[in-house]
Amino acid sequence: MFQDMTREFDIKKIKRSNVSSDIGREAHVHPFHEIFYLSSGECTSFIDHNIYRFRRGDLVIVPSGCLHRTTYNGTGIHERIVISFRNEVTEWIKNQIGNDLVENCMKPGVVNIPDKRREYVTSLLDKLMFENDTPDALSPAFIKVGLIELLLFTIRCKNYEENVIKEIDVDNRIIQEVATYIYEHFSEHLSLESVSDKFNLSRSYLSKKFKTATGFGFKEYIINVRIQNACRMLLETNKSITDIAFECGFNDSNYFGDAFRKAKGVSPHKYRKNETF
């Protein structure tokens, strides 16, 4: 599913209980960046082709264009603060400190905020939420300054703090390898049988384990990765829609069109004409 927002910035607090365990029941992609901070509970996120498990005090970075889905683990109340913003603010920071640090910051992943700095982060988030919820003429400026401060702090954590980057979920290492294989070989013939044989797994085990670990059905993930790459090719190349369909692993251009419309809400032709969809 493709999701967009009507504003340049948004922040919201979301609470879930264990009886409604899925945050994002459908995988989605959006043309804006997203950062969320887990205030309580445990989550698993599948971002592009990596599986992350994270807990209270972790900051999750989902750059624009990343296919992702997040589910809650455990019991009790889970709370997260979600920030959505467009790319303009990162361009401003690049002008101040250079491209490399910002691009590293905006790579998908999870940053564990040190205990002694969590109060500082929650204070920043509270200020952003206040300005967003009770705006006046100065609120846009306060929001920009607060967001820049949060991003700069994240850059510092990723580059100068020790042991803050969360490792990929080691309990699902084999599924991680399968997802990466699909991500890197999306244009080839992929089936449950061929992939399970390659990784010496039974088809039933791979099907069930892949769904549990990623939130995606096996075939569903393949289609999503192919659609994601088709979007890139539609915007960045002049190749025909039929050629793009075949290069992305679709054997039938009509099936590609149907799958694309289901995922994006528009035809491939219309998507190419208007990249804001």
pLDDT digits (tens, 9 = 90+) for 172-209: 889 999 999 999 999 999 999 999 999 999 999 999 99
- Domain end call among 160, 183, 198: 160
Residue 4 lies in a domain: no
Q: What is the CATH number of the domain that holds 242?
A: 1.10.10.60
Average pLDDT estimate for 16-38: 72
Q: Report DSSP state, residue 167.
A: P
Q: Which residue has the higher pLDDT, 70 or 240?
A: 240
* pLDDT above 50 for 18: yes
Count of structural domains within the chain: 2
Q: What is the CATH number of the domain that holds 131?
A: 2.60.120.280
Residue 32 lies in a domain: yes
**CA of 126: how far to CAs of 79, 83, 91, 120, 138, in Å?**
14, 12, 24, 10, 16
Share of the chain above pLDDT 70, in %: 90
Q: Are residues 177 and 127 in the same domain?
A: no
Strand partners, 53: 44
Q: Are residues 77 and 143 in the same domain?
A: yes
Domain of residue 262: give its range. Answer: 171-273
Q: What is the pTM assigned to this prediction?
A: 0.79
Q: Are residues 156 and 175 in the same domain?
A: no
